Amino acid sequence: MTEMEVKGCIFDLDGVIVDTAKFHFLAWKRLADQLEIHFTLEDNELLKGVSRMESLEIILEIGNISLPAETKNEYAELKNKWYVEYISRMSDEDILPGCLQFIIELKKAGIRVAIGSASKNTPLILSRIGLSDLFDAVADGNNVSNAKPNPEVFLKAADMIGIEPGKCIVFEDAIAGVQAALNAGMMCVGVGSAEVLTKAHIVISDLSKMNLEMLEMAGNEIGLQKKNDFS
């Protein structure tokens, strides 16, 4: 690679490796119904990548409801109990297309791979889908305290794999996550819709559209983009 050598790849979990967004929605919807708050799939987009408590705050704001901290903790726990029930039924069949092949290709090429997720349920999800031992490091809601778009989770992941942020590329499906990657000074590949992930350097629909050669091209292209931004 000429302009920019990619040495580390950091993957968001929910929405990039597995589609857990549908389970988050089901559990939040169940809580919203109980609180008589009208919560839609469109509203759910705002919850992607943000922490559990911030997600609850967004839902309460939609319903124009304010609650004491203790009650909010109880509701967040209740939602998580339902969510854990849903994800406990997951298996390796829930791994998104192209994901495993691409990560194995990266590892063979000596590129370090890490998870950078807001979810406190990351260990459970990785275990359910059989990928607990695949990644060189896991930074998640259990070992960071600042939620995306704060860059902490990605900086922590880069530190854990020993690669400087400028040589890391993040794969993200959420607006808040793309912003977190940029705030960390990293390259970012959006996974999903280009209309939604407008700030990502490039956008792909899923990881089956990615391979080592494309990563190299993307790294070089983003390197040039970054250079032009500063020139």
Q: Give the shortest CB-151-to-Mg ion separation in angstroms.
A: 15
Near ligand B16 in 155-214, by CB under 6 A: 174
Tell me how far apart the alpha carbons of residues 187 and 158 are, in angstroms, rounded to a whole number.
12
Say whether residue 12 binds Mg ion (CB under 5 A). Answer: yes
Q: How far is CA 179 from CA 2, 50, 92, 172, in A?
A: 26, 12, 29, 10
Which of 159, 122, 151, 113 has its CA nearest to residue 11? Answer: 113
Say whether residue 150 binds ligand B16 (CB under 6 A). Answer: no
Say whether residue 55 binds ligand B16 (CB under 6 A). Answer: yes
Nearer to ligand B16, 4 or 186 (CB): 186
Nearer to ligand B16, 121 or 218 (CB): 121
Q: Which stretch binds ligand B16 (CB under 6 A): 43-51, 159-167, 188-196, 209-217?
A: 43-51
Structure tokens at 150: 């704060």
Which of 149, 157, 151, 187 has its CA nearest to residue 169? Answer: 187
Half-sphere exposure of 192 (CA within 13 A, CB side): 25
Which of 99, 97, 123 has its CA nearest to residue 113? Answer: 99
Say whether residue 173 binds Mg ion (CB under 5 A). Answer: yes
Residue 18 DSSP one-character state = B
* Residue 94 known to be catalytic: no
Q: Which stretch binds ligand B16 (CB under 6 A): 115-123, 186-194, 210-218, 221-229?
A: 115-123
Which amino acid, residue 94? D
Torsion angles phi and psi, residue 137, rounded to 5: -155, 155
Say whether residue 111 binds ligand B16 (CB under 6 A). Answer: no
* Residue 12 known to be catalytic: yes
Say whether residue 119 binds ligand B16 (CB under 6 A). Answer: yes
Q: Which residues are the active-site residues?
A: 12, 14
Q: Which residues bind ligand B16 (CB under 6 A)?
A: 12-15, 24, 47-52, 55, 80, 117-121, 141, 174
